[in-house]
Chains A and B, each alone.
Chain A
């Protein structure tokens, strides 16, 4: 016996949420392709080498965000699938955003609504493309949306469970949703429904696991998922009949429209689904494991290694830049740097004091100059030059002075009997500059190496860093002072003997004498060693010979 029930106004209590969602999707699908764009009040498009995304804000306060980044497609912050960087899906998406930016007339909404996934995508990309397509369809909505029924979950947990365990129903509902041709007005779940003879029911019906007896007229479509259908002699269905997993009479002459089984959406079998879930869980677990390990390394031993390596690279880059600048100065301004170097050598204290004073006073001088030029009408054009030029000049002076000090340090170091310098011609100014820079910047490099060693070396690393700062400040101050005293290497007043400054044959790259070596005492005439070539007064073979350009002291 069937339970007889009038289906007019029938909305079951406790309609499962899955069916509710799919049914709502059915209700929201456009009718006969007539659609109207939603009111997008704001959009933001970002396209870079690493990211391609769009953010939309709708007039009703809702928002939509789609981002392609790091091989993942995210919609509203949730990953919906993957894409191959540079692949078909990403290219199509970037082309869409490019058109949106180039449109110049607010066509973003239409472009998004018209987008469709490209053909021939891989499975992972196809999944993302389908989700993206569905999301973008939200941009186009029916002109007059009808209110969606409010469906609750009061009981029916067993039915929900059975639906979730019966993927064929869900796939059939999905197929209907994608067809977009069916819009149910009524839902019947696990009910006995009878339309009596002479009775007419207007509106389409979706019946799940129900027994439907039509003796009268159903003015609309009928979709049957499970259950059975009985058509009486006078029973008529004015629309289409669609079914899945149901018992349908062979005689369907009472159906005015088409009658066909629903082709479920091709999907994964239960076992395939389980395999996929397992693989996803494994991948997520592995990611978490990797993240945990990386984090532990980063905040433990790794931080010292990374910091130390970064410090080494920084020191090396600094050394390279200063060496390049030093060689350029040596090449193009050889006498200037020589005079500055000799000023450092002959007046180090005075250079230091002048450098400190110059460094302190440079800012007030700069500001005062700006004020003076600003209040004088004629000085306004000069002001535009003064503002950038003065700091550049000060910086250039400090660099010139630092290079000159480096040369002197290198000069001094290279004339010590140090291991490792045997194979180098340390009498050449270019080599001296390099050696000097190594000494001045070396403290930072050694500190970085100690930092790699771990916490136990930290105190030494800190001390070396302090030493490096002190050396840099001292060298910069002395150098700046020497530059100021020598008027950027043009005034040899403090440079001691400067005959070479006017020597037309002066070669800045040639070996130079050691200015740090004390003057040799005049030796008393002795008998020459008849067994030594040149006698006893000849210099050792590993020392440079006298420079013919050097003036005897």
Chain B
């Protein structure tokens, strides 16, 4: 009887795995590229909607306004591309033919290249995405990243050609690591974290006054501030820890020792419920 049980169980598993395998083997990716040259645009609002897969963002070649290359399973997804009146929408969205057994998002990929010269207000809505954003050199007037369960790496190694007012991150159960945010020159950086890990590196900071506001539910937040930049930290927390040994408490705030003399300053405001907050120094 035991043999019968296990045989039947194995048969069921084989049936299910066979169905899944057949679905996977039938997966064929489609590649679509959209490329547009800059032709006098003064500003562009860019909206990226990408649910699952890999996302790669970098500056475009000279003269290009944008370039998007999408790899997707056309059985389950269809590309989204609209450009009109200075607004670009790009990404993929599911079709009515989507099949739940398929894992077609595993090989899906979006490569996006954005202009170095035309100021762009960039909004990214990412789902379960592994994202690599090289923002150095892209002309960004604003950046709003909303991510659910993605693993996002942001880097910037050269100054932002455009003036940026605000940089916003809304992170759910995701991992976000950003280096070189100082190069983007945002006047205000705002972070809303859920349960993920967030690390913000302010390397390349040139602005005299920068405001960082972080609201974290549960999880870890680390902010890395370059040497020579004055720090003022205020926090409102509940059952959360703060690790910033080089900050000195004065009244309701914590200050770095060079706060009064520094020509560049960062005002950090942290509101955390659970988890940990760490402020660290970096060389750049």
Interface size on A, residues (CB 8 A): 33
Chain B residue nearest to A331 in the complex (CB) = B9
> Contacts of B16 on A, CB cut-off 8 Å?
324, 328
* Chain A residues near B15 (CB-CB < 8 A): 320, 324
| Those of B1-37 within 8 Å (CB) of chain A | 1, 4-5, 8-9, 11-13, 15-16, 28-37
- Contacts of A46 on B, CB cut-off 8 Å? 30-33
A100, CB-defined interface residue at 8 Å: yes
* A106/B217 contact (C-beta < 8 A), A43-B33, A324-B16, A509-B1 known: no
Within 8 A of B (CB), among A28-74: 39-49, 59
**Contact indicator B9/A101 (Cβ below 8 Å):** no
Q: Which A residue's beta carbon lies closest to that of B61?
A: A105
Which B residues are CB-close (under 8 A) to A384? 172-173, 194-195
Q: Are A324's CB and B12's CB within 8 A?
A: yes
Q: Is the interface of A mostly helix, strand, loop or mixed?
A: mixed
* B113 in the interface (beta carbon within 8 A): yes
Docked complex Cα distance between A381 and B273 (Å)? 11
Are the C-beta atoms of B35 and A377 separated by less than 8 Å?
no
Interface residues of B in 31-45 (CB under 8 A from A): 31-37, 39
Q: How far is the CA of A378 from the CA of B217 in the complex (A)?
A: 8
B33 CB contact (under 8 Å) in A40, A44, A331, A380: A44
8 Å CB interface, B107-125 against A: 111, 113
A48 touches B35 (CB 8 A): no
Task: Please judge, given known A-B contacts A380-B217, A380-B218, whether A47 and B35 are in contact too, CB under 8 Å.
Answer: no
Q: Which of A41, A45, A381, A430 contacts B194 (CB 8 A)?
A: A381
CB distance from B173 to the nearest CB of A (A): 5
B246 partner residues in chain A, CB cutoff 8 A: none
Contact call B33/A100, Cβ cutoff below 8 A? yes
- Closest beta carbon of chain A to B51's beta carbon, Å: 14
Q: Which of B5, B33, B37 contacts A45 (CB 8 A)?
A: B33
* Contact with A47, one of B30, B63, B217, B238 (Cβ below 8 angstroms): B30
Does A510 have its Cβ within 8 Å of any Cβ on chain B?
A: yes
Instruction: With A41-B36, A45-B31, A331-B12 as known contacts, state yes or no: A507 contacts B195, CB within 8 Å.
Output: no
Partner of B30, one of A42, A48, A378: A48
* B61 contact set on A, CB distance < 8 A: 104-106
Asked if B8 contacts A327 (CB within 8 A), the reply is: yes
A301 interface residue (CB < 8 Å to B): no
Given contacts A384-B195, A509-B1, contact A101 B218 (CB under 8 A): no
Is B37 touching A40 in the complex (CB atoms < 8 A)? Answer: yes
User: Would you call A101 and B33 a contact (CB within 8 A)?
Assistant: yes
Q: Chain A 497-536, CB within 8 Å of chain B: the 1/0 string?
A: 0000000000101100000000000000000000000000
Question: Known contacts A106-B37, A328-B9, A331-B5: does B31 contact A101 (CB below 8 Å)?
Answer: yes
Q: Specify which chain B residues have a CB less than 8 angstroms from the CB of A43 in the assembled complex.
A: 33-36
User: Which residues of B are found within 8 Å of A320, using beta-carbon distances?
Assistant: 15
**B-contact 0/1 string along A84-121, CB 8 Å cutoff:** 00000000000000001100111010000000000000
- The residue that A41 contacts in the complex, of B1, B33, B39, with Cβ under 8 A, is B39
| B interface majority secondary structure | mixed
Is B74 close to A, CB under 8 A? yes
B residues near A101, Cβ cutoff 8 Å: 31, 33, 69
B244 at the interface (CB under 8 A from A): no
Over the window 46-80 of chain B, the binary record of Cβ atoms lying under 8 Å from chain A Cβ atoms (1 yes, 0 no) is 00000000000000110110010100001000000
By the criterion CB–CB under 8 Å, are A332 and B35 in contact?
A: no
**CB–CB A377/B238 < 8 A:** yes
Given A101-B31, A380-B194, answer yes or no on A59-B39 (Cβ-Cβ < 8 Å): yes
Complex interface bits, B156-187 against A, C-beta within 8 A gives 1, otherwise 0? 00000000000000001100000000000000
State A487–B272 Cα separation when bound (angstroms).
38
How far apart are the CA atoms of A104 and B69 in the complex, in Å? 9
Distance to closest chain B CB from A287 (angstroms): 27
Chain B residues closer than 8 Å to A331, beta-carbon distance:
5, 8-9, 12
A367 CB to nearest B CB, Å:
19
Whether the Cβ atoms of B32 and A45 lie closer than 8 Å is yes
Count of chain B residues with a beta carbon within 8 Å of a chain A beta carbon:
40
C-beta contact mask, A254-295 vs B, less than 8 Å → 1, else 0? 000000000000000000000000000000000000000000
- B95 CB, nearest partner CB in chain A, Å: 14
By a CB distance below 8 angstroms, the chain B residues around A39 are 37
Q: Could you say which residues of chain B place their CB within 8 Å of the CB of A40?
A: 37
Chain B residues within 8 Å of A44, by CB? 32-35, 81
CB distance from B214 to the nearest CB of A (A): 15
Q: A107 CA to B63 CA in the complex, in Å?
A: 12
Tell me the complex Cα distance, A43–B4, Å.
Answer: 61
- In whole angstroms, what is the CA distance A332 to B12 when docked? 11
Give A306-337 as 1s and 0s: 1 = Cβ < 8 Å from B's Cβ atoms. 00000000000000100010011001100000
Contact call A48/B74, Cβ cutoff below 8 A: yes
- Chain A residue with Cβ nearest B74: A48
Smallest CB gap from B70: residue in A: A46
Evaluate whether A41 and B173 lie within 8 angstroms (CB atoms) in the complex, with A104-B67, A328-B9, A378-B273 already known.
Answer: no
Contact string against A for B residues 197-230, beta-carbon threshold 8 Å, 1 for contact and 0 otherwise: 0000000000000000000011000000000000
Chain B residue, CB-CB nearest to A40 = B37
Separation of A100 and B1 alpha carbons in the complex (Å): 62
Kindly provide the distance from the CB of A329 to the nearest chain B CB, expressed in whole angstroms. 10
Please, which residue of chain B has its CB at the minimum distance from the CB of A430?
B8
Q: Give the residue name and chain of the B residue nearest to A103 (CB).
A: B61
Partner of B31, one of A48, A332, A430: A48
Q: Quick one: closest B residue to A54, CB to CB?
A: B33
- Given A41-B37, A106-B63, are A381 and B195 also a contact pair (CB < 8 Å)? yes
- Please indicate which of the listed interface residues A47, A106, A507 has the most CB atoms of chain B within 10 Å of its own CB: A106
A110 to chain B, nearest CB (A): 12
Closest to A102 in B: B69
A430 to chain B, nearest CB (A): 7
Interface 0/1 of A364-380, CB less than 8 Å to B: 00000000000001101
0/1 interface trace, chain A 322-362, chain B, CB 8 Å (1 if under): 00100110011000000000000000000000000000000
B4 touches A509 (CB 8 A): yes
Q: How far is the CA of A377 from the CA of B237 in the complex (A)?
A: 12
Nearest to A42 among chain B residues (CB) is: B36
Enumerate chain A residues within 8 angstroms of B217, measured Cβ to Cβ: 377, 380-381
CA A41 – CA B64 in complex, angstroms?
Answer: 9
Quote the shortest CB–CB distance from A230 to chain B (angstroms). 55
**Across the interface, which residues of A come within 8 angstroms of B30, CB to CB?**
46-49
Q: How far is the CB of B249 from chain A (nearest CB, A)?
A: 25
Residues in chain A near residue B29, CB distance under 8 A: 48
Q: A507 touches which one: B1, B32, B35, B173 (CB < 8 A)?
A: B1
| Cβ A509 vs Cβ B8 within 8 A | yes
List residues of chain B with CB within 8 A of the CB of A328.
Answer: 9, 12-13, 16
A319 to chain B, nearest CB (A): 13
Q: Which residues of B contact A377 (CB under 8 A)?
A: 217, 238, 273
Closest 9 CB pairs of A and B: A48-B30, A105-B61, A45-B33, A47-B31, A331-B9, A377-B273, A42-B36, A380-B217, A381-B195
12 A-B pairs, CB-CB below 8 angstroms? A41-B37, A43-B33, A43-B35, A45-B33, A47-B32, A48-B29, A106-B63, A331-B12, A377-B238, A380-B194, A384-B194, A384-B195
Contacts A47-B30, A105-B61, A106-B67 known; 16 new A-B pairs at CB < 8 A: A40-B37, A42-B36, A43-B35, A44-B81, A47-B32, A48-B30, A101-B33, A104-B67, A106-B61, A331-B9, A332-B9, A377-B238, A380-B218, A384-B172, A507-B1, A510-B1
